Amino acid sequence: MKSDCRQRGRQPGYAFWTAVWAFAAGALAPVLAAAAEGPESRMAAAADAAALPVAEPTTASAETGAGEPDLPSGGEGVPTLGGTQLWTDLVVFHGWRIQRHAFAGHCRLLDEQDRRQASGTFSACRARLEAEREARGMPPLAKRVVIVTHGLFGTRRFLHRMEAYLAQHGDFEVLTWGYASTRGTIEDHAEALAGVVRALEGVEEISFVAHSMGGLVVRCYLASGRQGELPDLRIRRLVMLGTPNQGSALARFWAERGGLFRLLAGPAAQQLSHKWEASAAGLAVPCCQFGILAGGRGDGFGWHHGIPGDDDGMVGVAETRLEGAADFRVLPLTHRTLMCDPEAMQCTLRFLEFGSFAGPSERDGR
């Protein structure tokens, strides 16, 4: 994996074409996802592509899931393409989740196979989830939970390698949290995350693993607590991987190129660029224990010539730093592979368990 990262990083224009691919994915995902989601989602996707507002659904359509028939409890559900840039998780219970549409505002309940079991209002989906828990005999959540989340243009699928590794080797339950990263501000996403945390009934300890902009979303959520206090006393640790804690030179580069960046990347990306100073004021230096993993070539120049110093092709090593970190480490990786490289996953697990990226021999001073 690491050798592959180094090879791709040396290819001319690697970071440029990665960014182009990400922008294209962000633009096309809403349209493709809406094709399987019914009339409201198709209307939202059309407006999404044109950056136009969409009228809220009527009360009747919201209550009935936009005219879609109710599905029987315990059934197989209806397949969906996911709508990665249109839906935000509001509740996560094992592999089940209640999501809200970024434009239409209605909700849907997905099972662990991402099949739609219900749609309509949040209260209707929540009631259906409770019914499914009883009908299927779902156990409560584990006492220790780790929430893994993505960054700009990311999806829950991007998190699967990290999720599987932590679930296999760690002594906790791993939940993935997805959000419509290009369809809201960092504050919007932090508010949704706060609701997810509040809904973790019976959980005694919560930690976070956040890639890229996801780390800023978690920091914004942590800022909602009173001065010097956590918003939830169950929060223990945070691992940030490639998070632009000092803003993003690459985002500023794209923002200066005008409307295309704003259209595709959305308001949160603008907060990383020319609106960074105002945005940074709303981000907490976490008062829980936190560690930072950065990617770079280790040569002082990095993968991308447009980013000062060493970098992972998207975020500079210097941009990831944040005073107060319990541990900091640079790995020879590109931005995306920080979440799936074996060494990065091992470091993440170590920090969640011990508060350090160091292995046993390093911790013991040998």
The tens digit of pLDDT for each residue in 285-333 reads: 999 999 999 999 989 888 888 899 999 999 999 999 999 999 999 999 9
The rounded radius of gyration (Å) of the Cα atoms in the chain is 20
pLDDT computed for residue 70 by the predictor? 53
pLDDT computed for residue 305 by the predictor? 83
Domains of the chain: 1-29+140-358 (3.40.50.1820), 35-139 (no CATH)
The tens digit of pLDDT for each residue in 15-72 reads: 444 444 444 444 444 443 443 344 434 433 333 333 323 223 333 333 334 434 455 5
The model's pTM is 0.81
Residues 101 and 85: their CA atoms lie apart, in Å, by 9
Of 284, 171, 164, 189, give the one whose Cα is nearest residue 232: 284
pLDDT computed for residue 14 by the predictor? 42
Report the residue count for the chain. Answer: 366
| CB atoms inside a 10 Å sphere around CB 321 | 14
3-class SS of residue 355 = coil
The distance between the two most distant Cα atoms of the chain, rounded to a whole number of Å, is 67
Q: Is 48 left (phi over 0), alpha (psi -120 to 50) or beta?
A: alpha
pLDDT computed for residue 2 by the predictor? 41
Residues 103 and 223: their CA atoms lie apart, in Å, by 26
According to DSSP, the residues that pair with 79 across neighbouring strands are 115
pLDDT computed for residue 71 by the predictor? 58
3-class SS of residue 28 = helix
CA–CA distance from 108 to each of 66, 89, 227 (Å)? 11, 10, 36
pLDDT computed for residue 67 by the predictor? 35
Question: What is the chain's pLDDT, residue by residue, as a tens digit (366 residues)?
Answer: 443 443 344 433 444 444 444 444 444 444 434 433 444 344 333 333 333 232 233 333 333 344 344 555 556 778 887 566 799 999 999 999 999 999 899 999 999 999 999 999 999 999 999 999 999 999 999 999 999 999 999 989 999 999 999 999 999 999 999 999 999 999 999 999 999 999 999 999 999 999 999 999 999 999 988 777 888 999 999 999 999 999 998 888 877 776 777 778 888 988 888 888 888 999 999 999 999 999 999 898 888 888 999 999 999 999 999 999 999 999 999 999 999 999 999 999 999 999 999 977 676 664
| CB atoms inside a 10 Å sphere around CB 201 | 8
